[in-house]
Amino acid sequence: MNANFENAKTIQEELKWFQNVVDTRFKNYFEGQKIDILDVQPPSVEHQTSDYANCINEHKMNIEERAVLILSLIPHVKPSFLDFFFTKNKMYDVPYSEFGGLKHPMHNGFLPTGETVLFLLGGTNIEKRFELMKLFDKKHFFHLNSILFLEKSSSTEPFFSRQLLLSQEYLALFISGKKHKPDFSPHFPAKRIFTTYEWKDLVFSEHLTNGLDEIKNYILHGKKLKNKFQFGKQIKSGFKVLFTGPPGTGKTLTASWLGKEYKKDVYKVDLSMVVSKYIGETEKNLSRVFDLAESKDWILFFDEADALFGKRSTTSDSHDRYANQEVSFLLQRIEDFDGLVILCSNFKRNIDEAFFRRFQLVLNFEIPDVNQRRILWDKSKTEDFEYHKNVDIEYLSENYELTAASIVNILHYSILKCLNRKDGEDRIITINDINAGIRIEKIKQGKSIV
């Protein structure tokens, strides 16, 4: 059966039930009735297979949790449902503060807040409202699974004045039947990275191979050690790794490969962008990244770590002071993150020595040696193409100190030249092709051409 049809059917029944919940609360509030909200029973979804029903069943949601879930979805599927909350208090000619809610400049409907939840399910019962606050605790499955949350706002505003938001992932799941993977935006400063490379395609030194084994051990056993053994009390959450080395030596590729190998999404955050462009929004935006990453067991990859762990300088103005506050926030979140964090720097010497103790592992990605370059020249061309007899791989490997990325770029230029030739010659890479590629690569890097 169509996923959209199944979800729509379940949600329609849930809306009918929730309408009874809302009607009951308003009768209690305006007419003085005393009907327990928990007596308004929801429809059974025990034998339903829609994504919405599966979410309810998987988490064994009670009535209150189901009410919060459908309330978070309503602005997206039936905004007019909540129009009654615009009712004004005639005594003061203002909306009822008890109802909570927000209005957005681009949306005419009522947007529920935490206060809306407390009113609907707790009324004016202070004790009950205190109990309901647990629905937004960090230990609740709503938070742990990034299902829904209260939007972060100014610390001076009441906590429950924040907007109730359904995560983009679950919104997509309930509407389209497909899970949404967040991507880079002004409000989500991280981008998913991935690779098509397999282990056999990679060329690593013994040092890097051993280091990757250490990371593998953490991925396979780290959380078990932390949570199930007494020794876990002595160690900090997560595993922090620093990748250093010149551009093109495979730092980003390796992080992407780790995700592919161990079936984890890898999200890359450019720290130089975060601590400049997003000043003022950094905490809120990065909190969203960290919260999602922890709930989904992502690998976080921070590029340009010099911006975070670089040698400290004196603060010169308010902009710098604010940036330093953001850096402190980032450092703390990375420190507390219960997962694999990889930070990347092109130059190890740029990292403040005081920060090295924060890393469980430091891996240096060096320019490949002669033997590694020989392997890269051979592997990178793939079986689709072959070298002309005038191409001396031994000579190229010994005389050109190139990174893996540079070799791939040179072959890219060379193969495009091949494909421009007539049939029979369009799969053969000549030394002239390679020399032209080397010149282009050197010019790009600002190096002299001999």
**pLDDT tens-place string over residues 370-405:** 999 999 999 999 889 999 999 999 999 999 999 999
C-beta separation of 121 from 37 below 8 A: yes
**What does the pLDDT read at residue 67?**
98
Please compute the mean of the pLDDT values over residues 228-236 and round it to a whole number: 89
Distance between CA atoms of residues 213 and 374, nearest Å? 24
Judge whether residue 308 has pLDDT over 80.
no
The CATH architecture of the domain made up of 370-444 is Orthogonal Bundle (1.10)
pLDDT digits (tens, 9 = 90+) for 153-204: 666 788 899 999 999 899 999 998 888 888 877 778 899 999 999 998 899 9
Give the model's confidence band at 272: pLDDT under 50 very low, under 70 low, under 90 confident, else very high.
low
Q: What are the boundaries of each domain within the chain?
A: 3-176, 191-364, 370-444
Say which CATH class 191-364 falls into: alpha beta
**What does the pLDDT read at residue 211?**
95
Average pLDDT of every residue of the chain: 89
**What does the pLDDT read at residue 321?**
47
Give the model's confidence band at 313: pLDDT under 50 very low, under 70 low, under 90 confident, else very high.
low
C-beta separation of 375 from 203 below 8 A: yes
Structure-token pair, residue 135: 């629905």
Judge whether residue 352 has pLDDT over 90.
no
Distance between CA atoms of residues 200 and 302, nearest Å? 26
β strands within 182-244, DSSP E: 191-193, 239-244
Q: What is the pTM of this model?
A: 0.79
**What does the pLDDT read at residue 187?**
73
Distance between CA atoms of residues 189 and 402, nearest Å? 32
Judge whether residue 243 has pLDDT over 70.
yes
**What does the pLDDT read at residue 281?**
63
